[in-house]
Structure 1
Amino acid sequence: MSGIVHSAWPGLVLFDRDGTLVRDVPYNGDPELVTPMPGAAEALAALRARGVRTGVVTNQSGVARGLLSLAQVAAVHRRIVELLGPFDTWQVCPHGPLEGCRCRKPRPGMVLAACAELGVPPCATVVIGDIESDVRAAQAAGAHGILVPTPVTRAHEVRNAPVVAPDLTAALDLVLPTEVRR
């Protein structure tokens, strides 16, 4: 098997929200601005068809900065569900970068909370994101991380990532090898 997980497939795949599942609109509180990233719907459908649980782990510091409310974040999440289907867990960090919480990526709090909520060990969990803090949160939790770079991803983040995929389709190939998806 050529996947990054030692079993046929993981028990849980967690996605970063902005820049990974949907186009990054800074501090987005408007559901009408939600646009799925290429390959997101197909990746999620393939995971769900195999019984792999899915979730979202997202830093939303705009709440702490007073730029959007938790109600606006929830409205954006409802729109994501309308476009991409249901998720088994949503983990949101509303704190600012200097608050020192355990949940804000690159800390492992949201990954560990998702694993605990769904009863999936971190070692059977994959986190897919577009910046280094996503991968570092996975590593800190004992999960597998895959970096899917976008134009905002810095060159050193790509160099430092243990696993890099050019897009969500390629990331899915690492999570669910082709022979498993047939």
Structure 2
Amino acid sequence: MTWEILNILAVSAFAFSGAIVALNERYDIFGTFILGIATPFAGGIIRNIALDVPVIHVWEQGYLFYVALITIAIVYFFPKTWVMAWDRWNIYPDAVGLSAFALQGASFAVQQDFPLGGIVFAAILTGVGGGVTRDVLAQRRPMVLHQEIYAVWAMVTGVVIGLGWVDLYNPFHTYSIFLLIILCRVLSYHLGWHLRFRDLYRI
């Protein structure tokens, strides 16, 4: 039940984020649904291809596809003035999707008996893959390439799970790391944390 809830939250959040970006870029209804569907599912597809795991696993939970479609439809048919205002808050659903999908990717790698490196790699690809796909399709600079911290939080998730510091079968542990990564991502955005060190050497 824990993972089903996290998967629904992740798919809804990234589908919402993708649809908002599409509408702000003035995509039509077809483009909005394509971008909204690509955002939650691209990360898992990229992960499976990179780890040489059948992509069919991504589509086995068919109800998530309907969750994405319903979310996109709700966003698309809401008053456009509301939707345009939501773009400034897109950081929050994006943080939810990043955290939930990083957890899901790390869990998937653990189930496939991958070593620590594979678990971290799966967490990063699953966590940031959808957001990167969304931004590339919308012709925006991907968040993961910005100076602000983004992919690092997916990497942290993979390390914590790969080292066994979190019991994936314990709902309290799972939800705690889920909420912690969301908090870290939101704080890093609002406080302007970044990985750019060149400013330290300016005179």
**Whose Rg is larger?**
2
* TM-score (normalised: structure 1): 0.30
Provide TM-score, normalisation by structure 2.
0.28
